[in-house]
Structure 1
Amino acid sequence: MVRRIALLLSATLVLATGCGVSEDEVVQLKEGESLSDTPYCGSIGCADPLRFCAELFLEFGRSPPLCVVDNICDRLECAKAGRRCAVFDGFPGQVKCIEGNGQ
């Protein structure tokens, strides 16, 4: 019985976290930008105190947790017009597009 409950909880967790990214939330790199210099987060966050751990909402889904800087939105743009990039706190945080004027 305990095994079935654990399996059910695991399946529920996969379904809850496995949801794709809404096309309204998609961020993409601006022309000439790269994330190749962006380290992954460790289990306790980022080694560099000037960076924080966040997932980027990309076209193919959420990125693995990355150590990004506060101005990460300067390197990103929204895939959909009329939206703007925003950073949400949490662990990991979220970087995605929200309603706005795109500025």
Structure 2
Amino acid sequence: MNHQVIRTIRSNVEQAVMGKPETVRLAVVALLAGGHILLEDAPGLGKTSLARALARTLGCRFTRLQFTPDMLPSDILGANVYRPATGDFEFRPGPVFTSVLLADEINRTT
């Protein structure tokens, strides 16, 4: 990926997330390195906006998953669902099958 493309990605994301150029820079670096990003901040300071902007800029699918105490693995991964018409099971993928996943309030789940 050339420098101009990287600058364009940063510029597009910075338009959605004002006042956090270092956070945007580090997010783009992590993305280019093939890593994951853990965003910790107070409510309302742009974590969701950053994730959405990255996904939109890259043309990727974005999913936000709100964790809760009663969440089950199938709520994240998906499940096999029985189809009586065919007598078969069909896998219904969960929200983890996306390009950009925002897992919100991870600390709430058990």
Give the TM-score taking structure 1 as reference length: 0.24
Higher relative CO (CA 8 A, sep ≥ 6), structure 1 or 2? 1
Structure ranking higher in strand proportion: 1
Structure ranking higher in helix proportion: 2
Give the TM-score taking structure 2 as reference length: 0.23
